Chains A and B, each alone.
Chain A
């Protein structure tokens, strides 16, 4: 059923089944991946991640700290990572908005960090205990300026574990912030899952500096676009800044130096797409109506595709697991035979904008819900059927 590409994480032996919530699986995934620092601020519906890690991290020799606000927790996470420790925070929409300032710093200064964003109804305080998928664009464009970012969108409790592990692997390897994006329903849903044996998940190390101090540059160009990182105490005594910097790490405004370094930053992820991309195709090969969806909506869509097939409609599902950078090529391939594309999502049409951008020649329609309720499989199946009839005319 799946064409999930998961190159960053080798397979690990599986332990016995457990009943877990998404937020619990996230905390377990973080510890398994080697996260040893968490800073956060209480916010519904992500607080269980912090609560779990406040118990787990000290037992692993790690540190948990509840900071005075969302801004400070993002700053502390980056501070710990600058010290060389795998670090994470978890939040929801209102907190995620506050984190954008320092998230931009992490992107610009290329500091690995993982941010869990559990989406709830918005805008503003919105519906704290209700699910939504309305942070899709904010995860990509939330901070000012041009910057690269990776966003992973799991759709089940087990996948929250896997994507949290993968978030650390990608973040450390590519020196970039990675957001794990899921909604309240997956966060607090409990499912029976099988997880890898404790200790069996490999810890992906960042590319540490090896050149001696005199020959080392913090932001040197490399083949994969990822510069090795110095660690405080290793004798290199580097400078880190959110100001536009040269390869040396010190501020510059020289146009040619700025252009060169910004281009490396902005093309870094593109050079590593094979590591980053992940998606799932369900019955896409002959699909005439293609459903594109993420997270909990994609689970409803999977059922809807089965229902539509039972009713004689050639339907398929394309589910980005890596949401940003968006899997353009895979989507184009999945939509090769599609005559219509349906994008069910729990917002006013954010994912649809991106699908329209990629599939310019296709008819792309939305199925949107933003009342704090998930989209039911039957609603998607019915729209798939009516679309099939419309395109048949």
Chain B
């Protein structure tokens, strides 16, 4: 196994160090995810000046401010919609979206399914910590059943969304999931997503130790991460029937990949053809 110590990668090169210390709680998995993203961006050779990071609202949404790039902290649930405009207007930029489980699946659910369907080139990183952490720990669309949150004092009675199944069903050409325990694997998955010629969706199972973990007595950050590790199954062993809800075994790795026309280039090709036809018409 490759260790998380790439000799030629220094995370500080892609961070806004003047923004440190960051505001994440001790034990929060989002920092690990951020590091993996920056590592993947570095390996992909994406220049900081050509990188646009668009984030929503919540703990995950705050990460954009720490990245040395063109960064946009937008409104709750809407980063994919902002990113759609930016990517269409500026195909020369490399667009990465950072969202959370509430941001991406609840208030922004409509934007997610249409971003998957539209297939505009961008990489969406959804950090899933099963909770609305920023607002103090309310139930989210991915909170596991029976878990305690500040708005499910009797235990969560709703099923937990499988975001990857949703993204696949909505047409995303690249869908994958990884845990923060496997940083090199996570980096590899994000790297593949960055290189995918269309909309790429990567779910990162993060952990909210301070709020979700404390409320449900899940122990320390390392205990939570190890529990996640014990609950996952690499996609190679996938044998269960697809369902939109989280199953007992969470599949990780690259879960779905298909290639179809990328929306931006298809639009630009059609526009160029229309311009050529118009020019031909005007010379007749």
Contacts from A to B (Cβ < 8 Å) = 36-37, 39, 58-59, 61, 63, 65, 67-69, 71-73, 75-85, 87, 101-102, 105, 232-235, 237-243, 250-251
B85 and A233 within 8 A (CB): no
Residues of A near B92 (CB, < 8 A) are: 233
Return the CB mask of B65-93 against A: 1 if under 8 Å, else 0: 10011111111001001111111111011
Is B252 close to A, CB under 8 A?
no
Q: Which of B71, B85, B90 contacts A76 (CB 8 A)?
A: B85
Q: A239's contact among B65, B83, B270, by CB below 8 Å, is which?
A: B65
Complex contacts, A250 vs chain B, CB 8 Å: 19, 65
- A79 pairs with B54, CB closer than 8 A: yes
Residue ID in chain A nearest B66 by CB atoms: A239
* Interface stretch (choices B45-53, B203-211, B229-237): B45-53
B64 interface hit (Cβ, 8 Å):
yes
Q: What is the CB-to-nearest-CB distance from B31 to chain A, in angstroms, rounded to a whole number?
A: 18
The 8 Å CB contact of A242, one of B73, B88, B114, is B73
Interface majority SS (helix, strand, loop, mixed), chain A: mixed
Contacts of A243 in B (CB 8 A): 73
Chain B contact patch, size range: 35 or more
Q: What A residues does B214 contact at CB under 8 A?
A: none
Of all chain A residues, the one with the shortest Cβ separation from B79 is A75
B70 touches A241 (CB 8 A): no
What is the CA–CA distance of A69 and B83 in the complex, to the nearest angstrom? 15
Task: Supply 18 A–B pairs (Cβ within 8 Å), ascending by A.
Answer: A59-B271, A61-B275, A65-B84, A65-B85, A72-B114, A73-B81, A78-B85, A79-B85, A82-B85, A83-B89, A102-B75, A105-B74, A233-B90, A235-B49, A239-B64, A240-B71, A240-B72, A251-B65
Cβ distance A228 to chain B, nearest Cβ, rounded Å: 16
**Which residues from A are CB-within-8-Å of B50?**
233
Inside 8 A of B88's CB, which chain A residues have their CB?
Answer: 37, 63, 65, 76, 80
Interface residues of B in 78-115 (CB under 8 A from A): 78, 81-90, 92-93, 110-111, 113-114
> Do A242 and B89 touch across chains, with their CB atoms under 8 A apart?
no
Question: In the complex, what distance in Å separates the CA atom of A87 from the CA atom of B81?
Answer: 14
Nearest chain A CB to B269's CB is how many angstroms away?
10
**Min CB–CB distance B28 → chain A (angstroms):** 18
A61 & B82 in contact (Cβ 8 Å cutoff): no
CB distance from B264 to the nearest CB of A (A): 9
B87 contacts across to A, CB distance below 8 A:
79
Contact A84 B75 (CB under 8 A): no
- The 8 Å CB contact of A59, one of B52, B69, B278, is B278
B267 within 8 A of A: yes
Sorted nearest first, the 10 A-B pairs with minimum C-beta distance are A79-B85, A76-B85, A58-B271, A75-B81, A80-B89, A72-B81, A79-B82, A232-B70, A80-B85, A83-B90
A-side contacts of B90, CB under 8 Å: 80, 83-85, 232-233
Restricting to B261-284, which residues have a CB under 8 Å from any CB of A?
Answer: 267, 270-271, 274-275, 278
